[in-house]
Chains A and B, each alone.
Chain A
Amino acid sequence: MAHVASRPLARRTHRRLAAVLLAGLVSALTLSIAAPASAEEIGLDEYDNKISGLVELADQPLADVQLVIAGGGFSVEVVSGEDGRWAVGVPERGEYTVTLNEETLPEGIAVIDPELEQPNVRTINVGQSGSAVANFFIGQGERNTVSLLDQVVERLFNGLNFGLLLALAAIGLSLVFGTTGLSNFAHAEMITFGGLMTLLFGVVMGLPIWLAIPIALVLSAAFGYLNDAALWKPLRKKGVGLIPLMIVSIGLSLAVRYIFQMFVGGDTQQLPGATDTSLEIGMFGLSWTDVASMSVSVLVLLGVAFFLLRTRLGKATRAVSDNPALAAASGIDVDRVIRIVWIMSGALAGLSGILWAYFRPGVSWDMGFQILLLTFAAVTLGGLGTAFGALVGALVVGLFVEMSTLIIPSDMKYVGALVILILVLLVRPQGILGRKERIG
């Protein structure tokens, strides 16, 4: 085993300083990105694939400009050399984001590109050739700063959008939990399934998107039904306990997730219209896709509410959630209710996956798993097993995740939501809308 020698001493002291800050929890959130990397070429020997670029202003090279290249769990920093050039090795082919730190540009200079919302961030694809180039338009101009109010409004809309799509997934999860007691980790794969099916029909098979999405939804519902019929119903009949069931769902989630990966690979692929800038409204960073997404979510959520509150089947569903034995005793066909809940759960999760694919944007094999914890957080926050609690919880989580990026770095935005989850459980373990249980 080879060992890499300790990093230079200067860096170590720097590190110690930062550690002290970290340990003291001194406004950890405002710590700026520290320790610029020292070379203009990083990791070229280590990895086969390369991303490179040239930073220049009116044909004059700019040195010491910092760039962060990240993707697929990998991330590296580089600064441009005296000739303005930089290059990094990256482990795999695929999509990477290159972020130019505008703070490190000379005074009065910025990345300018009227086409883009964030001109200093570029997404590039390292393809078959194994290398890619990322350059920026740099010139005199305003830095990428949006007024605080605009930012707040933009984040608010984003949070609402995210919260609504999360609610679709959370309500399905919550209904299944309420009626069967199962904490279904494989719910993540039902979310991914919706996105993948839309990709299959809308992109691979080239059907128009207005047709591909309904097909994907029907298949998602069928997938939900299949989950119950092939696995959960037999296990219920066998009398397997709730915690073993939860562990079974963990196994299922793992297996299905990697089966997805076998079929679609590790890349992220876009649905039609997801990255189409012509759909921008030009207000608060919203696009027509966002508006459509929010409208669909609201309509479907209203539909679910109507179902639960006004229809006989919906009432039966709530009765089963309350007390399955009693519901069965009073003549409700519990198995039928559970079957319908699974079908709904599948369809809602699938829809949520499609909207998530437009929100991220992109379809990937683990997209559902990425928001599984947030979905659980939403369900728990709202109160385990209450459908409307899940809705409230999801909106809280969605808004919190997006709004928190105003203050904390965006790579920590999920941290805030999960911390909130833990804090709420401390104060109100039954969740926001949950009922306190009678003991004894």
Chain B
Amino acid sequence: MRLTDREINNVVILEPKGKIMGGPDASLLHDKLYELIENDKKKVVIDLGGVEWMNSTGLGILISSYTTLRNHQGELKLANVTDKIQSLLTITKLISVFEAHDSVEEAVNSFK
């Protein structure tokens, strides 16, 4: 997995690319999130448009990111969720946890 980031209107967009299956890449997102929190960047969108698929480790990373930001008075939203990931979020009931948007722009604008 590769990870890039950009910022729009004080919202950080994280862009993982590839497959999120565990292994050495698993800590990339986690480490980046803590870096953002330390820099007081607590509005985060994860753009999943470039993620081919993820397994339960990937879902665990999303959950960890969500709870970490929430515990620091921040917010995490998802954008561009692919059909495969949407299916996984649905069967695991995590669809009820995450706020998902059809585009990064929509996700950014949803922050108050």
Q: Do A and B bind each other?
A: no
